[in-house]
Amino acid sequence: MKVKPLFIWAGGKTKMMKHYQDIFPTRFDTDIKSYSEPFFGGGAMFLNVIQRYNIEECFINDINKGLVGIYKSVRDDADTFCEIMDKRQKEYLPLDKDNREKFFYKLREENAWDYKKWSLVEDSAALYFLMKTAFNGIWQINKNTNNRFGTPIGLLNQKDKVYDKDNVLEWSRILNKLNVSISLGDWKDCPMGDFTFYDPPYRDSFANYNTSFPDSETELLIKRVEENKNVWLCNRDSNDGFFDNRKANIKRFPVTYTVGRRKKTEDGFKATKATEILLYN
């Protein structure tokens, strides 16, 4: 089966793969045995890389505790994770939209204030259910949700399922098969691999991840690209020349953002057009 990211993530790289195809190191390069992605997010790049190379070890990291918890739970206890998801899905699907909305906000409130009663897998499954029924692709942190997940409801139009169980189980198989190390913390503490992909928060970011990423940190990432083989750094071009004149190759790609910041017009909201850059060696 074709494996997909577990959730939609603002800035996710699924749509960028068509631009990257001709830039990847030689397919099945025998020197590429390990992969590192210190800003993991939705993992679209990871899924592409493991199909291209004979990866034997992976290092994935994120500063978002909730996302790390989901990946660890899927890797270590997918059966319990899916059992919880199936139970909530069975309760949720028969409801009309008004009652689905009540279901969502009740769970979000419980996730915000009563989560300490849960195990890691229970906590992660609650967050995952919220992410699958919330406004897609947006990670919002609110004070009224105890600085935990606070994204509002989505369209609530699920028909026969809330999540793809087969996809979750395939992720579990992959994470175990490839000896994937999952960590929570600073990107600098995540080991580099034979191929390393950096996808930090964008400069002038419109998405709220409850984090900040100053240019001084991006400069350190650029240095990693300049000094090492098979290291990539992607970001958004702010048209201020920040990424120009570096000791690395640079590519620019037109993109359209369909989540996050959108331009309001007389006809409603339109997707935002922008340019993404890829710095690589």
pLDDT of residue 35: 97
Q: What is the DSSP letter of 278?
A: E
Would you state the structure tokens that stand for residue 96, as one six-digit string? 């009309």
pLDDT of residue 25: 85
Task: Give the phi and the psi of residue 99 in degrees, each rounded to 5.
Answer: -80, -30
Q: Which residue in this structure is represented by tokens 């939705």?
A: 42
Task: Give the phi and the psi of residue 13 in degrees, each rounded to 5.
Answer: -100, 10
pLDDT of residue 125: 98
pTM: 0.92
Q: Which residues is 183 bridged to in the sheet?
A: 61
Task: Please check whether residue 16 is in contact with residue 253, taking contact to mean a CB–CB distance below 8 angstroms.
Answer: yes
What does the alpha-carbon distance between residue 68 and residue 70 come to, in Å, rounded to a whole number? Answer: 5
pLDDT of residue 137: 72
Answer CATH for 72-166 from 3.90.228.20, 3.50.40.10, 1.10.220.10, 1.10.1020.10: 1.10.1020.10
Q: Which residue in this structure is represented by tokens 């990432």?
A: 221
pLDDT of residue 262: 46
Class of domain 14-63+185-280: alpha beta
Residue 191: strand, helix, or coil: coil
Q: What is the pLDDT along the chain (281 residues), one digit of tens a residue?
A: 789 999 998 877 888 889 999 999 886 667 899 999 999 999 999 999 999 999 999 999 999 999 999 999 999 999 999 999 999 999 999 999 999 999 999 999 999 999 999 999 999 999 999 999 999 878 999 999 999 999 999 999 999 999 999 999 999 999 999 989 999 999 999 999 999 999 999 887 645 455 678 999 999 999 999 999 999 999 999 899 999 999 999 999 988 866 544 444 554 455 678 899 999 98
Q: Where in the chain is the domain with CATH 3.40.50?
A: 14-63+185-280
Q: How far is CA 275 from the centre of its chain?
A: 20
Task: Please check whether residue 188 is in contact with residue 182, taking contact to mean a CB–CB distance below 8 angstroms.
Answer: no
Q: Please name the residues in contact with 32: beta carbons below 8 A apart, sequence gap of 6 or more.
A: 25, 53, 54, 55, 194, 195, 230
Q: Where in the chain is the domain with CATH 1.10.1020.10?
A: 72-166
